Structure 1
Amino acid sequence: MALIDKFLKRTLFEQEFEPPLNILVCFSKHDTGVALCRVANYLTHSKSKDEQIASLHLLEKEEYDKIENIEEYKASLYDGIIEECRKGTAMVRTFIKPSEDFVCEILSTSYKLDSNLV
């Protein structure tokens, strides 16, 4: 019985001091964004801490420049994604950025948002 008590105390201790997840979901296609947000939502779903999901949609500069109204585009793009992410308790942030170097943009955004899972 003492072994079980020791295990339970250790498990509870680890849960209390586990840092919250700050997930950065990066994508260039809508279907990929929805799927990745489902995974991010699953990872944060059982947590009770202040966790965040940042959804970053990357576009080529030429493609980004073709968008006439960025707010309408953002609303239509994130329609299914936001619903998916908000099923959990995590705070959801959304971004659309033009970029010539997706890897550099992902690393930069991850650093700025202090993401611990990309």
Structure 2
Amino acid sequence: MIRLIGYLFGLASVLALIVAGGVAIYLNGMTKDLPNYEVLASYAPPVTTRIHAGNGALMAEYARERRLFLPIQAIPDRVKAAFLSAEDKNFYNHPGVDIYGLGRAILVNLQNFGSGRRPVGASTITQQVAK
């Protein structure tokens, strides 16, 4: 009996190592195109250049992308809550990767595999910014 338990334990250990190796290879492939996190700390998106007349009237705008810098304090709390509700309900409860959301998405996608349904995403706001 002890020999059988030892055999099953050894088999489970080898299987766990194979799964861990597969996960490591998968994560390495997924993260190789991500930018360095230090670059994200100094990221400054291009904003619109505005030229105003002496009386304050807007004369012209120059930009490749029409972006305006808006500090987070200027965004109403209701808009922030709506965005978090739609994108990442557990934003304040995870360190950047929502393990429960990821597991749920994997299970749902496995259940829907081959049904033609659109896959469910599991990325958090943090992951989307990094991407």
Identify the TM-score tier after normalising by the shorter chain: under 0.3
Q: Which has the larger radius of gyration?
A: 2
The structure that is strand-richer by fraction is: 1
Q: TM-score, normalised to structure 1's length?
A: 0.26
TM-score if structure 2 supplies the norm length? 0.24
